[in-house]
Amino acid sequence: MESLIVRVDDIPLEGLELELNVPAADLMELLAEDGEETPVILSPLTGSLKLRTTGKDRLSIKGGFAVTAEIFCDRCLNETPTALSSEVNEVLDLEAPGASANGDEESDSDGSLEVVDGKVNLSGLLGELFWLSWPWHFICKPDCAGLCSRCGANLNEGLCGCVDGCGHS
């Protein structure tokens, strides 16, 4: 994504405020590259990241974002539109392509970003941050009735008629 590619030399000393406004379709495309099952994104991802170069070849990233996605309820399997948000506060090493090959972990940074032609691409980072905000255990509502263990009906939509399946009769 073009809007997530930043030239390192363009980041002023006081930092660069990067506005995020990633269309849902672009975000889904980005997430599809991870090989994870692509979630249905319902809104643009919006927010901002403050980029600041620190020390030697390091980039500090602070900010946050919000996005709405459809999430499956663990109990009734219904897709539920859900607002996700995430705060970001990371320091990443800036590295030349292939530089991370030797595995010494002396750095205390959170990770690294590859600098290609003087530019960093933040879309991979954004994908990671998105998954960090993803609720891996999710119930659509506190009193979700779940599915009938006998016929599989969604009991939030009414009783299914099984005598012992839904616990109401």
| Residue 159 binds Zn ion (CB under 5 A) | no
Q: Which stretch binds Zn ion (CB under 5 A): 19-27, 33-41, 129-137, 155-163?
A: 155-163
> Nearest distance from residue 38's CB to Zn ion, in Å?
21
- The gap from C-alpha 122 to its chain's centroid, in whole angstroms, comes to 12
One residue of 7, 96, 131, 150 binding Zn ion per CB under 5 A:
150
Q: Which CB atom, from 98 or from 142, has the smaller least distance to Zn ion? A: 142
Q: Which of residues 66-105 bind Zn ion (CB under 5 A)?
A: 73, 75-76
Q: Does 148 bind Zn ion (CB under 5 A)?
A: yes
Residues that bind Zn ion (CB under 5 A): 73, 75-76, 140, 144, 148, 150-151, 153, 160, 162, 165
